[in-house]
Amino acid sequence: MGNLTHDEIQALAEHCEKAELQAYEITKITDDYPQMTYEDAFDIQWEARRRKEARGTKIVGMKMGLTSWAKMAQMGVEQPCYGYLADYFSVPDGGDIRMDELIHPKIEAEIAFVTKAPLKGPGVHIGDVLRATDFIVPAVEVIDSRYKDFKFDLKSVIADNSSSTRFITGGCMASLDEVDLKTLGVVMEINGEVVATGAGAAVLGHPAASVAMLANMLGERGEEIPAGTFIMTGGITAAISVKRGDAISVRYQGLGTVSARFV
Amino acid sequence: MMNNELIQQCGDELYAAQRNRTTVQPLTSRYSELSIEEAYQISLRLLERRLADGERVIGKKVGLTSKAVQTMLGVDQPDFGYLTDRMAYNQGEEMPIGEQLIQPKAEGEIAFILKKDLMGPGITNADVLAATECVMPCFEVVDSRIENWQIRIQDTVADNASCGLFVLGDRAVSPRQVDLTTCGMVVEKNGVLLSTGAGAAALGSPVNCVTWLANTLGRFGIGLKAGEVILSGSLVPLEPVKPGDFMSVSIGGIGSASVRFI
């Protein structure tokens, strides 16, 4: 059930998207619209997505956020959130990420799935996901909440496309029968120094569980994950702040390295 | 400067604390000038007492290998302790922490089993890999004889690097088969995911830790021996445990270890 009017949804979508495109901070929108519901928040996200597509921007994938039990407990929520990935979010492996296009970016090491069959919730489970997976590939997500000081609640962050901004993929792709996603290790380095380590289980116990949850959340809106979708499953490591001049490199067990520079 | 008598006295005090499951005041709160070198001499006295009881050295451990712990203690180096036969438990066995330890904490590690002696200084990572028969998943249960874990590096060094008990897991894998820097670790307590990490969490690589150990012990004229177990340092934060707890650790490409505490 939504509490906001059609006009309010449109105005808030424009408000959030403008902050993203022009890289400036806003205050969390639930401050001004305390009556906002989760459905309203997703309506705002989908309206911003529609605005981008209307301008010719292509949607190239989906992402999950707040996928660690610790983060969910910290936010007082029982579900993660999702967002979409636009074509201009994609950065080549080893490429440059421009700081002047971002506000206060942080990086997370993730595992991305590419599907070969559609997944439509409700009722999607981890087995469905494994069957529908073409391959997995390492990814680094750059998140950049438009909210001042990264301070938000879950509804506000959903409206802000779950803080999505850039992503880098690289390294080696792998079939699911070649890797143990639960114990797959990652090592994040900034300027040659190890800043975080983790393993796949940090994502909802198993990264495939994150894809199942995405399918089920989209199912609530009558949407599905089409075959061929690129999905980033959520941070294995904590989100680490970066600054101009940083060279980042993330090593994935058996899957190579993803790197980029912030310029 | 501590004289021999004082070093012996401190070693005896820690030995008694371990045997009686009591804690003592931090040595550094009583002997403010205590050096790390002297702390190692105290640890040797403690070991001497244990060997006199019939315990046998079966390996060594490296501690303080994470940046977070080093920062907390204000040091830029790891430390080491001795493993004896009475500290070793096998996969699936119950570990009697209730009757043996004081304030135990569990940490997931990679254990190295050596097939050749290593005598520092001058040992490189290549030497360590060439001397390693296999690596195994491991839980180390650390414990401190110092009240409330109020340790500075000298306190933990003197106290055998806060060693307690350890359990080796279900598989032994050649170091040729696994990337020890990126292998992931997943630790669960009572069925709930507790933490994850990867090899690089210990000094950038567990191999670095064993190399450091060989070179550091070499300065004391002590070598690592073929057949010894070397615990290379925790890859995840320490977790307090109590009797009744069940913990398991899985390491990507290596295997699992689990332990039930009684």
pLDDT over threshold 90, residue B171: yes
**What is the interface size between A and B, counted as CB pairs within 8 Å?**
78
pLDDT digits (tens, 9 = 90+) for A9-57: 999 999 999 999 999 999 999 999 999 999 999 999 999 999 999 999 9
In a domain, residue B52? The reply is: no
Q: Which residues contact A46 (CB under 8 A, 6 or more apart)?
A: A221
B204 contacts A197? CB cut-off 8 A: no
CB < 8 Å to A183, chain B: 183-186, 250-253
In a domain, residue B156? The reply is: yes
Cβ–Cβ < 8 Å for A201, A207: no
In a domain, residue B81? The reply is: yes
CB < 8 Å to B253, chain A: 180, 183, 253-254
For B252, the closest of A69, A180, A205 (CB atoms) is A180
Q: In a mutagenesis test of the A interface, which of B76, B185, B196 is the best target, namely the one with the most A β-carbons within 10 Å?
A: B196
For B198, the closest of A69, A187, A205 (CB atoms) is A187
In a domain, residue B29? The reply is: no
What domain count does chain B have?
Answer: 1
Searching chain B, which residue's CA lies closest to the CA of residue A187?
B182
Prediction ipTM score: 0.91
Number of neighbours of residue A11 by Cβ within 10 angstroms: 14
pLDDT digits (tens, 9 = 90+) for B15-39: 999 999 999 999 999 999 999 999 9
Report CA A232 to chain centroid distance, whole Å.
Answer: 6
pLDDT digits (tens, 9 = 90+) for B63-118: 999 888 888 888 889 999 999 999 999 998 899 999 999 999 999 999 999 999 99
Q: Which residues of chain A are at the B interface, by a Cβ-Cβ cutoff of 8 Å?
A: 69, 180, 182-187, 194, 197-202, 205, 236, 251-254
In this predicted structure, what is the pLDDT of residue B40? 94
A185 contacts B199? CB cut-off 8 A: yes
Number of neighbours of residue A245 by Cβ within 10 angstroms: 10
For B250, the closest of A183, A186, A205 (CB atoms) is A183
B182 contacts A253? CB cut-off 8 A: yes
In a domain, residue B143? The reply is: yes
CA distance linking residue B194 with residue B107, whole number of Å? 11
Residue owning tokens 């994950």: A225
Q: Give chain B's end-to-end CA distance (angstroms, integer).
A: 42
Show the tokens assigned to B180: 């020890």
In this predicted structure, what is the pLDDT of residue B37? 92
CATH number at residue B138: 3.90.850.10
Residue B184's domain comprises: 57-261
CB < 8 Å to B200, chain A: 187, 194, 197, 251
DSSP 8-state symbol, B118: B
Show the tokens assigned to B90: 């096998």
Q: What percent of chain B has pLDDT over 90?
A: 92
Question: DSSP labels for A116-151?
Answer: SS-B--SS--HHHHHHHEEEEEEEEEEE--SBGGG-
pLDDT over threshold 90, residue B2: no
In a domain, residue B131? The reply is: yes
Chain mean pLDDT for chain B: 95
B182 contacts A187? CB cut-off 8 A: yes
CA distance linking residue B236 with residue B119, whole number of Å? 29
Searching chain A, which residue's CA lies closest to the CA of residue B66?
A194
In a domain, residue B199? The reply is: yes
Picking from B143, B168, B191, B188, the residue whose alpha carbon sits closest to that of residue B92 is: B168
A187 contacts B252? CB cut-off 8 A: no
CB < 8 Å to A252, chain B: 182
B181 contacts A183? CB cut-off 8 A: no
Q: At what angle do helices B4-20 and B36-52 cross, to 10 degrees?
A: 60
Q: For chain A, list the domains and their CATH numbers.
A: 60-262 (3.90.850.10)
B184 contacts A186? CB cut-off 8 A: yes
CA distance linking residue A185 with residue A201, whole number of Å? 9
In this predicted structure, what is the pLDDT of residue B15? 97
A254 contacts B197? CB cut-off 8 A: no
**What distance separates the 2 farthest-apart alpha carbons in chain A?**
50
In this predicted structure, what is the pLDDT of residue B54? 97
Show the tokens assigned to B115: 């097939």
B201 contacts A182? CB cut-off 8 A: no
pLDDT over threshold 80, residue B1: no
SS3 state at B220: coil
Q: Which residues of chain B are at the A interface, by a Cβ-Cβ cutoff of 8 Å?
A: 67, 179, 181-186, 193, 196-201, 204, 235, 250-253
For A69, the closest of B181, B193, B197 (CB atoms) is B193
Q: What percent of chain B has pLDDT over 70?
A: 100
pLDDT digits (tens, 9 = 90+) for B117-161: 999 999 999 999 999 999 999 999 999 999 999 999 999 999 999
pLDDT digits (tens, 9 = 90+) for B197-233: 999 999 999 999 999 999 999 988 999 999 999 999 9
CB < 8 Å to A256, chain B: none
B198 contacts A205? CB cut-off 8 A: no
CA of B249, closest CA in chain A: separation in Å?
Answer: 10
In this predicted structure, what is the pLDDT of residue A75? 73
CB < 8 Å to A203, chain B: none
Q: At what angle do helices A6-22 and A38-54 cross, to 10 degrees?
A: 60
pLDDT tens track, chain A, 263 positions: 799 999 999 999 999 999 999 999 999 999 999 999 999 999 999 999 999 999 999 999 999 999 987 778 777 777 899 999 999 999 999 999 999 999 999 999 999 999 999 999 999 999 999 999 999 999 999 999 999 988 888 999 999 999 999 999 999 999 999 999 999 999 999 999 999 999 999 999 999 999 999 999 999 999 999 999 999 999 999 899 999 999 999 999 999 999 999 99
In a domain, residue B17? The reply is: no
CB < 8 Å to B201, chain A: 194, 197
